Amino acid sequence: MTPYESARKYFFDAAELMDLSSNMQKLLLLPERELKVQVAFERDNGEIATLVGYRIQHNSARGPMKGGLRFHHEVDENEVRALATLMTWKTAIVNIPYGGAKGGVAVNVADLAQGELEALTRRFVDEIHDVIGPDKDIPAPDMGTNAQVMAWIMNQYGKYHGFNPACVTGKPVEMHGADGREEATGRGVVATTRALLDRVGRPVSETSFAIQGFGNVGSHTARFLQKSGGKVCGVTDAVGGVWNPDGLDIKKLVEFAVENGTVEGFSDAEPISNDELLISDVDVLIPAAIGNVLSRHNARDVRAKFIVEAANSPTTPEADDIFHEREILVVPDVLANAGGVTVSYFEWVQNRQHFKWEISRVRNELDRIMIESFDKVWSLAERRHVPLRLASYLLGIGRVGRATVLGGI
Ligand X SMILES: O=C(O)CCC(=O)C(=O)O
Cα→Cα distances 221→39, 197, 211, 400, Å = 33, 15, 8, 29
Footprint of ligand NDP on 284-303 (CB under 6 A) = 288-290
Q: Are 28 and 59 in contact (CB under 8 A)?
A: yes
Q: Of ligand X, ligand NDP, none, which one sits near residue 311, judging by CB under 5 to 8 A according to partner kind?
A: ligand NDP
Q: Is 26 annotated as contributing to ligand binding?
A: no
> Which residues, at least 6 apart from 114, have a Cβ–Cβ distance to it below 8 Å?
none
DSSP letters for 92-146: HHTT-S-EEEEEEEE--GGGS-HHHHHHHHHHHHHHHTTT-BTTTEEEEE-TT--
Can you name the residues that pair with 49 across neighbouring β-strands? 41
Which of 9, 26, 102, 376 is labelled catalytic?
A: 102
Residue type, 201: G
User: How far apart, in whole angstroms, are the C-alpha atoms of residue 47 and residue 45?
Assistant: 6
Among 60, 226, 236, 316, binds ligand NDP (CB under 6 A): 236
Can you name the residues that pair with 65 across neighbouring β-strands? 99, 137
Q: Is 340 in the site for ligand X (CB under 6 A)?
A: yes
Q: Is 322 in the site for ligand NDP (CB under 6 A)?
A: no
Q: Of ligand NDP, ligand X, none, which one sits near residue 64, judging by CB under 5 to 8 A according to partner kind?
A: none
**359-384 vs 388-407: helix crossing angle, rounded to 10:** 100
147/341 with CB nearer ligand X: 341
Whether 102 is catalytic: yes
Q: Is 57 in the site for ligand X (CB under 6 A)?
A: no
For 185, the enclosing helix (H) or strand (E) is helix 181-199
99/230 with CB nearer ligand X: 99
Q: Is 156 in the site for ligand X (CB under 6 A)?
A: no
User: How far apart, in whole angstroms, are the C-alpha atoms of residue 383 and residue 251?
Assistant: 41
Q: Of ligand X, ligand NDP, none, which one sits near residue 169, judging by CB under 5 to 8 A according to partner kind?
A: ligand X
User: How far apart, in whole angstroms, are the C-alpha atoms of residue 204 and residue 22?
Assistant: 44
Among 344, 350, 351, 373, binds ligand X (CB under 6 A): 344
CA nearest neighbour of 253 among 237, 276, 229: 237
25/226 with CB nearer ligand NDP: 226
DSSP letters for 249-271: -HHHHHHHHHHHSSSTT-SSSEE
CB 66 to ligand X: min, Å: 5
- Residues 186-225 vs ligand NDP: string with x where CB under 6 A? --------------------------xxxxxxx-------
CB 58 to ligand X: min, Å: 12
CA nearest neighbour of 254 among 318, 304, 183, 185: 183
Footprint of ligand NDP on 172-191 (CB under 6 A) = 185
CB 325 to ligand X: min, Å: 28
Footprint of ligand X on 84-143 (CB under 6 A) = 90, 140, 142
Residue type, 361: R
55/66 with CB nearer ligand X: 66
Q: Are 342 and 184 in contact (CB under 8 A)?
A: yes
Q: Of ligand NDP, ligand X, none, which one sits near residue 217, judging by CB under 5 to 8 A according to partner kind?
A: ligand NDP
User: How far apart, in whole angstroms, are the C-alpha atoms of residue 283 and residue 324?
Assistant: 16
Q: Is 66 annotated as contributing to ligand binding?
A: yes
Which range in 20-28, 40-48, 333-341, 393-401 contacts ligand X by CB under 6 A? Answer: 333-341
CB 289 to ligand X: min, Å: 13
For ligand NDP, which residue has the nearest CB?
215
Query: In the sheet that 208-212 helps form, which strands lie side by side, from edge to edge?
Result: 270-271, 241-243, 231-236, 208-212, 284-287, 306-308, 329-331
Q: Is 179 in the site for ligand X (CB under 6 A)?
A: no
Q: Is 305 annotated as contributing to ligand binding?
A: no
Footprint of ligand NDP on 46-85 (CB under 6 A) = none
With CB under 6 A, what is the number of residues at the site for ligand X? 13
Can you name the residues that pair with 279 across neighbouring β-strands? none
Binding residues for substrate, as ranges, are: 66, 90, 344
Residue positions annotated with a catalytic role:
102
Footprint on this chain of ligand NDP (rule: CB under 6 A): 141-144, 185, 212-218, 236-239, 262, 274, 288-290, 310-312, 337, 340
Footprint on this chain of ligand X (rule: CB under 6 A): 66-68, 90, 140, 142, 169-170, 312, 337, 340-341, 344
